[in-house]
Structure 1
Amino acid sequence: MSRGWAKRQMIEDLPDPAMMSLEQMKAEVAALARADEISARRWLCDRPDCDGLPHQGWLHRHARSSQRPPTWLWTVWLLLTGRGWGKSRTAAEEVREWARAPGLQLAVIAKNATLVRDICFESPKSGLLSVFPPEEVAKYNSSLGATVLELTNGTVIRGFGAEAPDNLRGWAFDKAWLDEYAAWSRHTAQEVYDMLWFCLREAEAPQVVISTTPKPLPHVKKLVERGQAQEQRYREGGPPPRVVLTRGHMRENDANLSPAAREELEEEYAGTRLGRQELSGELLEDVEGALWKGWMLEVEGFRPRREHLPDLQRVVVSVDPATKSHENADMTAFTVAGRGWPVETMFGDDRPRGYLLHCEQDRYTPTQAMKRAAALYHEHQADCVVIEANNGGDYLPALLEQVDPTVNWRIVHATRGKRARAAPTAQLYEQARIAHVGPPRVFAELEAQMTTFVGLGETEDSPDQLDSAVWALWDLFLDPTMPPPRAGDDQRLRGRR
């Protein structure tokens, strides 16, 4: 039957408006509008490799084939994808599919109670209220800390924040949706996940869908490793995996994204560590033996805005100079860093924090390098330029004074290996005391060097930006020859050259 003939037959079957009363006509129009709405809510078509765009029989945008749930009995479906892929909508639609069964108890858990309500329930494009038809909703309570959606078939969907495992104690559920699992506190996420599974202990077919942008955190990697191991056994003839991994790039959902926003995101983040994670949905693995682990660059507050910084007691410009300036020589690297006391502290930790404000590298002649150091000194109103003077670089301070005699400087000499010098700085990151301020692209090369630097001596390339950053933070926090700060006012280098 052709599509045109079917449409003609549908029109001929409609009642004759001339024979209808006004009430009948209004009812007919309402029924047609309702039929269109029901049709537009359909999510999963059966076209193989569907791209989710309108096609015959599905005149609205709907699920891509990659957004369909596994066809076998699974327990965890981990949507590990880039931003904008559609993972929240996919998870919400899966909850709706579960809720067709009457009398279920379903849990929705996000980082906190506010995000549960605003994102998982009330988001206009991907929240539960946007995918459930109004006639299926019996009651919705959106008070903070008690977000509950009751359906007409007796199924109840409850929202929880993941701040504390005890939020789930005492409940019993059949299935659950965990949103942005990688954004949960790394201190409690695994405990909340474990507590949820105790809440699923009586379910006939327990299932958990997890929608998250990946981050290299222990609780995320644990699930990924389980899924990869089960997938490998399946390829070798074993049973289908119970933990199923779905990966995806933001570009898969181009049809539903703003072209201008997508171009801006790709221009700003493509090729950076953050872009690989947030756009491509990559789970960035740690290099064995590396001093910096990926999670150290993902802690909350790691990328503050400049206007949110506290007053900085000291700011330094550190220089890791190249010993030669030909086209194959090492780069000269510069880091601008400051130290200050945070306005708000967590758990009574009132230690000072470090803030990397700028990082760059290029090939310079010695004079060009000192001119650039002086420019950064004035641009950031720094207190001092810290110059590593190994390998014959002792003349650089004299050159800096010729370039700009107003610049305060300090010369440092490396007496230990790179790894031994960098390890205490990495511990500052481990303590969540260092932040990178500014566009991620500025720190892309530095962060790549951090997460791959092992310190194998001659067999490993010299990490110029990393060396520069280490010197800056060493001067601000770790140099044993410098006296400690007093009452938050560091006078260490006043009047010193």
Structure 2
Amino acid sequence: MTTAIPTASGDGSKAGWLASASPADRAAFLHGLSPAEARCLFHDWSFWSRPNQQSPPGDEWTGWLVLAGRGFGKTRAGAEWVRAAVEAGRARRIALVGATAADARQVMIEGESGLLAISPPWMRPLWEPSKRLLTWPNGAVATAFSAERPGQLRGPQHDLAWADELCKWRHEDAWEQMLLGLRLGAHPRWLATTTPRPSRLIRGLLADPKVHVTRGSTFDNWAHLAPTFLAEVVRRYQGTRLGRQELHAELVDDVPGALWTRALIEAGRVARAGELARVVVGVDPAVGAAGEGEGAETGIIVAGRGIDGRAVVLADLSCRMAPTAWARRAIDALRRFEGDRLVAEVNQGGDLVESLVRTLAPEVPYRAVRAARGKAVRAEPIAALYEQGRVVHVPGLETLEDQMCRFTSHGPDGPSDRVDALVWALTDLMLGPVPPAPRLRRL
């Protein structure tokens, strides 16, 4: 392009200068473009984007986390990042991972800011939905994946990955599998575009020195949002916790009404368990035929009661496995921790759960429990034990603790399988009858 482009001003983009110019200056600039230059300008992301939508400079980073509010332009930034890497020849095999299969297709690929919409006609990829495959004219290919099915990401290799709305991903294993497949090329990289949520995964990425973090709010993109939308979200959410999280992209840890807070859990942190009188393995089963890494999760929590009367949460062995596999995992945990009893909810599995345990290990002490009350009602007495300082945690239980801090008096905000298993284990340990002759063991 031969026409000089003015320097950035306003929102930081060159397009911001053009929008703020006088009608005469704007007309003179546009009329000075040839048809070819106008087409190039229309697809020139460096012209239209704000600085906080542009790829970080340098080679020191391996991941780019865009943590921003609704309407910021995260999807457009992600699609343009992928497009630029493809056109420059830096990416040949790309993973596009959405929270669900529908999100990957409808937002990342087919959406108004998705890859098909932002690609110029001369470099538009071919989209084959049945194969979940995008193919560019230069041979680069991208495959769409669902974070609900981590097993899809086992095996495929990539040199670039775009993960969208990471805060909505139910299975952290999908993230791990994506990273394990990011092994092609000289410098494989990933981008995660998401609104914030105080999960262990997000906090870990924020602390990683190899991750470049971009923050932004809804109002960074005010010029391209409907005025009625802005007025309504300000009226409804400005100054609220939800507004801080969804509009201003703040990482707000404590959920209003949560039965547990991070401060409460941290106050009961211990380095080791000490001498225990009883150990129980609590199980909240996911009954189905899903394979490892897919489907619902089975909560498996190991907890013990110390000789001082406090309960100690020892391990979180929750998993996504077929029934026989998770039953064997729970039995192995009971043996490894010298447990006294395996406690499992049977609302969903019924006799199947006991049948699995009896088939695999007839000698295992087993107790079936049936939920007659809601999750929150069952959890409240256990939360009270934490407030009384009667339950402590060993290190390494971050995913369980994330679920706990999203569990409110109205019920869970998201999956609660680990919390349900915790409740069953601690109820048996602390609220049930105490055996007259406990066995002592040191962990």
With the length of structure 2 as denominator, give the TM-score of the two structures. Answer: 0.53
Q: 1:270 to 1:421 in 2, by over 3 A?
A: farther
Q: What residue number does 2:233 align with?
A: 265
Say whether residues 1:201 and 2:192 are aligned partners. Answer: no
Aligned-pair CA distance for 1:100: 1.0
Q: 1:9 to 1:221 in 2, by over 3 A?
A: closer
Give the letter for the 2:117 counterpart.
Answer: S
Secondary structure of the equivalent of 2:67?
strand
The corresponding residue for 1:119 is: 107
Question: Using CA pairs below 8 Å that are at least 6 residues apart, which structure has the higher relative contact order?
Answer: 2
In the TM superposition, residue 290 of structure 1 has moved relative to its aligned partner by: 2.7
Query: Hey, what does 2:116 align to over in structure 1?
Result: 129
Tell me how far 1:289 sits from its aligned partner: 2.5
Alpha-carbon distance between aligned partners in 2 of 1:12 and 1:65, rounded to the nearest angstrom = 26
Select which of 192, 204, 213 maps to 2:195: 213
Instruction: Calculate the aligned-residue CA RMSD, in Å.
Output: 4.1
Cross-structure match for 1:369: none
Mapped to 2, the partners of 1:99 and 1:282 lie a distance apart of 32
1:243 matched to which residue of 2? 211
- Aligned counterpart, 1:353: 374
Q: What is aligned with 2:155?
A: 170
User: What one-letter code is carried by the residue in structure 2 that aligns with 1:123?
Assistant: G
Q: Are the aligned partners of 1:352 and 1:433 in contact in 2 as well (CA < 8 Å)?
A: no
Deviation of 1:8 after TM superposition, in Å, equals: 8.4
Mapping of residues 61-460 of structure 1, within 5 Å: 62-73=48-59, 74-102=61-89, 104-124=92-112, 126-143=113-130, 146-185=131-170, 188-189=171-172, 191-226=173-208, 230=209, 242-285=210-253, 288-290=262-264, 352-353=373-374, 419-420=387-388, 430=404, 434=408, 436=410
Q: 1:135 to 1:269 in 2, by over 3 A?
A: same
Per-residue deviation, 1:353: 3.2
Closer/same/farther in 2, CA of residues 166 and 264 from structure 1, 3 Å limit: same
Note the alpha carbon deviations across 1:395-443, whole angstroms, 9 max, x for none: xxxxxxxxxxxxxxxxxxxxx99933999xx99x839775759xx9xxx
Would the aligned equivalents of 2:75 and 2:193 in 1 still touch at CA under 8 Å? yes
Task: Give the deviation of 1:6 after TM superposition.
Answer: 13
Larger radius of gyration between Structure 1 and Structure 2: 1
Superposed CA offset, 1:150-175 (max 9, x none): 00000001110011322111111011
Deviations 1:199-229 (A, max 9, x none): 1223211110110001001111111122xxx
Q: Deviations over 1:38-83 (max 9, x none)?
A: 31111114xxxxxxxxxxxxxxxx1111212111112100001111
1:64 partner amino acid = R
In structure 2, the CA distance between the partners of 1:269 and 1:290, relative to structure 1 (3 Å rule), is: farther
CA distance in 1, matches of 2:226, 2:26: 36
- 5+ residue gaps in structure 2? 7-23, 255-260, 268-346, 351-369, 378-383, 392-399, 414-430, 432-443
Give the whole-Å Cα distance in 2 for the aligned partners of 1:347 and 1:96.
Answer: 47
SS in 1 for 2:233: helix
Conserved 8 A contact 2:262-2:405: no
- Within the candidate set 20, 40, 43, 1:41 is matched to 43
Question: Structure 1: where are the runs of 5+ without partners?
Answer: 15-31, 46-61, 231-241, 294-344, 357-415, 441-479, 481-497
1:10 CA drift (Å)? 10
| CA deviation profile, 1:166-192 (whole Å, cap 9, x unmatched) | 21111110111000011101xx22x22
Distance 1:213 1:152, change over 3 A: same
Tell me the CA shift for residue 346 of structure 1: 8.5
SS in 2 for 1:194: helix
C-alpha displacement of 1:9: 12
Structure 1 match to 2:428: none
Identity of aligned residues (%): 29
SS of residue matched to 1:244: strand
Q: 2:331 is matched with which residue?
A: none
List structure 1 runs of 4+ shifted beyond 6 angstroms. 1-14, 345-350
